[in-house]
Amino acid sequence: MHALKTLAVLAATTALTACVTPFSGNDGMYALPIGDAPVTANPTAYTPALDCLHSYAASNHAAAPRIAVGRILDYTGSVSEEGGRRITQGASLMAMSAFNKAGARLVERFDTSVTELELRYANNRLIGQEGDENVRRIYAGQMPGSDYYFVGGITELNYNIRSTGVDAQGGHTDARDGVGNAGARLYVMNIALDFRLIDTRTLEVVDVISYQKQIIGRELRAGVFSFFDNTIVDIAGGERALEPVQLAVRAGVERAVVEVMSRFYNVSDSGVCATALQASGDPMGPGETQTAANNVSPATAAIEQSRANPDTWNDRRDTNFTGLRGRS
């Protein structure tokens, strides 16, 4: 009888693993991967505001600046148990995507390795081209410069700012009648980001933005343990969910770009694109900004007042010019 039970367990195990064999098929694969979710867009709550700014600039013929994105690094130093970084190292790429959504003209300064190699080859007359000239020529001023560049970093990662939970267990005094248990937990963490916008020509820091975003996670579980005649039943189930940390980084980057581009287009982020921000429930958007302003420090109030003036970046340069960098 014991041998029959062992054979039954082995047969069941073999049935579960029958779809994997140590021999590849005619297609050269051992097994087909699971999952059929399609590739989708990756928006945040602030993507509608960026799209709104792009549409506003196009309809009002607002001149978009040339923006270069520098290195936006992870300064938290947080490392996972597996040895990798807990925070994305691609925040610069997120910023490039955000500026593109807002209609900025991007110039590449993040990875110029291919361009530098091509220029070196062209300077040595090693690159040919079609047409009358059989080699590529290098012309003075052929690459546009940037007006501003955007840099910064992820500066905080705080675990378990606050957590709460409850566990319950109950059953009959006779354990054979069954015991049940249930539990739930909530915990909160946050990240913070700091950015600078710098005038490329003068290296003047014209804007500083600092944001934080809280991230929530939850855990639910329940189980039951009981005897049925000579059979023991132990069933447990649960769920864990954590708001994506890297998506929170992207959201912080996009919120900062909303601030930057709204001033470039001479609008207030709580003015022209009020509907987009309100639809996303942004606490820094319209309706809440004026109320919150009564409870902020004088320094923060001065910054917000400065943001309301689209010519703030120009008033110390030349009063004969209007608009951003002399453009009307």
Phi, psi of 306 (to 5 degrees): -65, -40
Is 271 inside any structural domain? yes
pLDDT at 266 over 50: yes
* Arithmetic mean of pLDDT, 143-169: 92
Taking the CA of residue 144 as centre, how many other CA atoms within 13 Å lie in the half-sphere pointing to its CB?
A: 11
E strands, the chain, are 66-74, 105-106, 148-171, 179-199, 205-228, 231-242
* Arithmetic mean of pLDDT, 57-79: 92
Q: Which residues constitute the domain of residue 88?
A: 43-107+144-313
pLDDT at 259 over 70: yes
Is 102 inside any structural domain? yes
* Arithmetic mean of pLDDT, 77-96: 90
Number of domains in the chain: 1
Is 204 inside any structural domain? yes
| Mean model confidence pLDDT for the chain | 81
Is 195 inside any structural domain? yes
Is 326 inside any structural domain? no
Is 133 inside any structural domain? no
Which residues does 165 contact at the CB level (< 8 Å), separation at least 6? 183, 184, 185, 186, 219
Is 218 inside any structural domain? yes
The pLDDT score that the predictor gives to residue 136 is 87
Q: pLDDT-derived band of residue 271, with 50, 70 and 90 as boundaries?
A: low
Contact 291, 241 (CB under 8 A): no
Is 194 inside any structural domain? yes
* Tokens read off for 115: 């361009």
CATH of the domain at 256: 3.40.50.10610
